[in-house]
Amino acid sequence: MKKITIFLVAVLLVLSACGSSKENSARPDATEPFIGGNDALKFGFAQGTPPDFVFDNNQNPFAIVNQIENLGEADVPANNLVIKVVGVNPMDFGIDTEADRAAYRYPGLDPNALDIVDANRQFITGARKNFDGTQLPGDKDYVEFPDLVYLPDLNGNTGVIIRAEACYNYMTKTSTLLCIKKDLLADSNSEIRVCKLSEEKDAKNSGGPVQVTALKQVPQGRNKIQVTFMVEHVGHKSARLYEIEPAYAEGYEHSVSTGIDFKGVPINAPIIQQNTGLPPESSCLDDVTNRRMNRVLIDVTSLHSGQPVICSGFDATGVGGEAIPAPLGGVRQVGKSRGYVTLWKDAQGGTLQPRAITCTIDTTNIGPDEVYEELLTMDLYYTYQQSIEKPMEIRDVKT
C-alpha cells in the first residue's frame, strides 16, 4: 500500500511539473520590446464582394468592400491608406458624374479624373505589447465602394478582373543594446561582466515588412564604435516599396501622440476636411520611370547619452536632388543621423537585396571608468503597396 501511495505522489508531481512547464512556455516574454512579424496591413475583399457575377445594362447594383487589419505595430492615421480599383473602366461601373467623384475621392487627386478610389476614414492603430508581455491586436477597418453598377449592354457574357491596390505609409521601429566604453582598446574586467564590445547584436524589430536583419558592433580605434546593420524588405515579394513623403515622417510621432496631424488638423476630422500626408498617386506608381521605388528613410538615434552618431551608406540626396530632411521641427537632434537608402533588385530583376549602413559613435566624452549598455534605435519609414484581385463575370441579360 505504501508503494502505491509513493507511486501516485510521484505521478502527481510529474503532472504538476508538466503543467507548470506548459504554462511558462505559453506565457509571453515581457522582456522583448516588440511583438514582431513581417506584416503591415492585411488586405482583402469582404466575403461576397465583389460578387462572383453581376448583370449588365444597369440592372444589378453591387459593392466592393475592402477589409483591412493592422497586423504590424505602426499606426495608420486617417487618410493615409488609399485604395484604388484598377483594370476596369470606371465609367463602365457608373463613375461618370460629379457626385460620383465626390463619393469616391480623397483630397489630393485631380478632381476631374474618373477613378474608383478612396481612403480610410478612421485611425487604424497597430498591434501593441503591454508591459507584462500581453498583446493587443491591431485595429480593423473597411474601405467601401457602394452603389456600383455595370452600365454597358453586352452581346454575351464576359469576364473582368477586379483588382484593388492599397497604398499607405508605414514604419518599423528597431532597437538594440550597444556596449559603450571610453577607451575601447584598454583591458577592463567590468567589460566582461557588463557587455561585449565586439559581437553580433540582437536587432529587435517591431512588426513590419522592412526590417534591420543583422547588426554588428566592433571597436574602431580607441574612442569610436562602429555599428553595421542591414536593411531588408522581408514582406511578400509581390508587394512594392516606395520612398515616403518626408512630411509623413516629420509628423508621424506627433500625430500618434497628440491626435493632431502635422498641419494642425485633428486626425479624426472628416476626410473632406483633411489634406494631410496622403501618399500621392504617383508614390505607388509601379513603373521603371518612378525614381521613388524601393527607397527607405532611416533615422538612427543614440537615445540616452546623446553620443554623436554619424552614418555612411545613405543616398546623397532624395529623389530630384532635394536635401535629406532634418528631423522633427527642422532641427537635427543630438545623437541622430538620417538618410534615404535604395534597395536594389537582384540580377534577375526580382528580389530586393539588403542594404548595409555603417555608423560610428564617438565615446570621447564618456567617463574613464564607465562601461554600460546604450540603446540605439533605427526608425524605418516607407510607403507600401499591396494588391488583391478577384474575377467577376458580367452576364448578358436579354430584355
The per-residue DSSP string of 99-144 comes to HHHHHT--TTS-TT---EEEE--S-BPPPEE-TTS-EEPPPEEEEE
Q: How confident is the model at residue 257, as a pLDDT? A: 46
Calculate the average pLDDT of the chain.
77
pLDDT at 240 over 50: yes
Segment 379-392 shows an average pLDDT of: 92
Q: How confident is the model at residue 299, as a pLDDT? A: 86
Place of cell 496622403: 278
Q: How confident is the model at residue 33, as a pLDDT? A: 84
pLDDT at 277 over 60: no
Lookup: cell for 306: 546623446
d(CA 130, CA 33): 9
Cα 278 to its chain centre, rounded Å, is 15
Q: Is there a contact between 352 and 161 (Cβ–Cβ < 8 Å)?
A: no
Tell me what percent of the residues of the chain surpass a pLDDT of 90. Answer: 32
Q: Is there a contact between 216 and 200 (Cβ–Cβ < 8 Å)?
A: yes
pLDDT digits (tens, 9 = 90+) for 97-148: 777 767 776 655 555 666 788 888 889 999 998 888 888 999 999 999 988 9
- pTM (2 d.p.): 0.80
Place of cell 483633411: 274
d(CA 13, CA 20): 11
Lookup: cell for 232: 531588408
pLDDT at 276 over 50: no
Lookup: cell for 242: 516606395
Q: Is there a contact between 357 and 18 (Cβ–Cβ < 8 Å)?
A: no
d(CA 14, CA 19): 9
Q: If DSSP codes are grouped into helix, strand and coil, which group holds residue 180?
A: strand
Q: How confident is the model at residue 79, as a pLDDT? A: 81
Q: How confident is the model at residue 237, as a pLDDT? A: 85
Three-state SS letters, 313-331: CCCCCCHHHCCCCCCHHHC
Residue 397 one-letter amino acid: V
DSSP code of residue 253: H
Place of cell 505589447: 129
User: CB within 8 A of 254, min separation 6: which ones?
Assistant: 260, 261, 262, 328
